[in-house]
């Protein structure tokens, strides 16, 4: 009788272990990829890279797009969890609201990897991104090397996105000493709502209406930078103001070639996807993940994190960066 009880207990433990890992016998691991929106060129690339990398590892990917609707993203997560997804990868619409996704997943013993954008105030399992503090510093360092004195404007990314705060911190790490010396004056400093081109345009119109002379604009991303370029073009100031962006979007690379944008920052999207795919598959299989000595606080805990480095892209190194990496085609960039 004791042997039967022991065998029953071991069987239950084994079933519990498999359920906790989300491992379905004789079926490939299913990764649920929740993306906030396909509102920028880069997110289509992130999606395609992640699908490719997971498939190379023997898994499948179920992609859902939330169209920047946090409630819709939560509903998509619940549907995936109810249908037996093995692990979730989330680009959150809202850094705080997405904590409910993590809570729902953990209630079913499913792990969650936060991709590119950090989910706040929850027991998050992993975070994969670039070092956005360093990216902000790259932007500011590059422009201040060209223009060490003058009037600077900061048009940040979405106020609801933790990355915006990290970028700003990196920018100010470089700019603040120059402000204190009196070499640089920050004449405009605002965040956007949704990282959108129209917001970059509207903020630049507002900036120009102040009557202040403008020497440089550090934009949260390339969409915002594109809006700034459009406003400067209408004002007859195209090419007169240094502009830094981020994401290495094709249109912005073309503007760099044309001399309207100074630089952008390229994030190694394929490496981000490969790292995330590897982590997701290991978490789903309850395999040990490679230890990371990097962590980031999300307000609830120190989250294990993997950060990849971004790189400055300018007119001189286009061929050595985004083109040599295969991210953009030379004939398109120099069109």
Gyration radius (Cα) of the chain, Å: 22
Residue 78: count other Cβ atoms within 10 Å of its Cβ: 15
Q: How many percent of the chain have pLDDT more than 90?
A: 82
- By C-alpha distance, which of 287, 300, 322 is closest to 127? 300
The two structure tokens encoding residue 170:
């990196």
pLDDT at site 23: 52
pLDDT at residue 10 is higher than 80: no
Pairing type for strands 302-308 and 126-130 reads: parallel
Q: What is the tens place of the pLDDT at every residue in 271-303?
A: 999 999 999 999 999 888 877 779 999 999 999
- Would you list the domain boundaries of the chain? 2-131+269-308, 132-267
pLDDT at site 113: 98
Mean pLDDT of 242-256: 96
Q: What is the tens place of the pLDDT at every residue in 92-134?
A: 999 999 999 999 999 999 999 999 999 999 999 999 999 999 9
CA dist., res. 154 & res. 143, Å (int): 12
pLDDT at site 25: 57
Rounded to 10°, the helix 222-234/197-209 angle is 40
Q: Return mean pLDDT, the chain.
A: 91
CA dist., res. 1 & res. 186, Å (int): 78
For residue 258, give the H/E element and its range: helix 250-258
pLDDT at site 259: 95
2-131+269-308 against 132-267: fold identical: yes
Q: Are 41 and 221 in contact (CB under 8 A)?
A: no
Query: Which class for 326: exposed (0-12), middle (13-18), buried (19 or more C-beta within 10 A)?
Result: exposed
pLDDT at site 20: 54
Q: What is the tens place of the pLDDT at every residue in 199-238?
A: 999 999 999 999 999 999 999 999 999 999 999 999 999 8
Mean pLDDT of 152-171: 93
Rounded (to 5) percent helix, strand, coil in the chain: 45, 20, 35
CATH class for the domain made up of 2-131+269-308: alpha beta
Q: What is the tens place of the pLDDT at every residue in 68-101?
A: 999 999 999 999 999 999 999 999 999 999 999 9
Q: What is the tens place of the pLDDT at every residue in 98-108?
A: 999 999 999 99
pLDDT at site 327: 87
- By C-alpha distance, which of 120, 116, 130 is closest to 46? 116
CATH class for the domain made up of 132-267: alpha beta
Rounded to 10°, the helix 269-284/41-56 angle is 40
pLDDT at site 124: 97
């Amino acid at each position: 009788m004791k042997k039967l009880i022991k065998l029953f207990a071991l069987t239950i433990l084994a079933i519990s272990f498999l359920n906790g890992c989300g491992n379905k016998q004789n079926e490939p691991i299913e990764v649920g990829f929740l993306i906030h929106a396909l509102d920028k060129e880069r997110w289509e690339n992130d999606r395609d890279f992640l699908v490719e990398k997971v498939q190379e590892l023997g898994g499948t990917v179920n992609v859902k797009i939330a169209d920047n609707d946090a409630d819709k993203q939560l509903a998509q997560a619940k549907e995936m969890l109810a249908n037996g997804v093995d692990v979730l990868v989330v680009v959150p619409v809202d850094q705080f609201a997405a904590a409910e996704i993590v809570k729902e997943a953990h209630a079913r013993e499913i792990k969650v990897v936060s991709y590119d954008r950090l989910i706040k105030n929850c027991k998050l399992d992993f975070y994969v991104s670039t070092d956005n503090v360093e990216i902000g510093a790259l932007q500011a360092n590059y422009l201040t090397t060209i223009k060490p004195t003058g009037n600077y404007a900061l048009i940040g990314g979405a106020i609801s996105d933790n990355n915006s705060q990290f970028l700003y911190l990196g920018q100010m790490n470089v700019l603040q000493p120059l402000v204190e010396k009196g070499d640089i004056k920050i004449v405009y400093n605002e965040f956007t709502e949704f990282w959108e081109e129209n917001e970059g345009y509207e903020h630049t119109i507002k900036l120009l209406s102040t009557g202040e002379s403008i020497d440089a604009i550090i934009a949260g991303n390339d969409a915002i930078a594109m809006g700034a370029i459009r406003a400067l073009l209408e004002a007859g100031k195209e090419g007169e103001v240094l502009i830094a962006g981020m994401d290495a979007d094709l249109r912005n690379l073309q503007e760099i070639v044309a001399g309207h944008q100074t630089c952008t920052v390229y994030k190694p999207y394929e490496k981000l996807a490969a790292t995330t795919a590897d982590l997701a598959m290991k978490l789903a299989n309850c395999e040990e993940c490679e230890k990371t000595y990097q962590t980031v606080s999300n307000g609830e805990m120190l989250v294990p994190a993997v950060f990849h480095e971004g790189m400055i892209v300018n007119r001189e190194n286009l061929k050595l960066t985004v083109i040599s990496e295969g991210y953009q085609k030379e004939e398109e960039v120099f069109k």
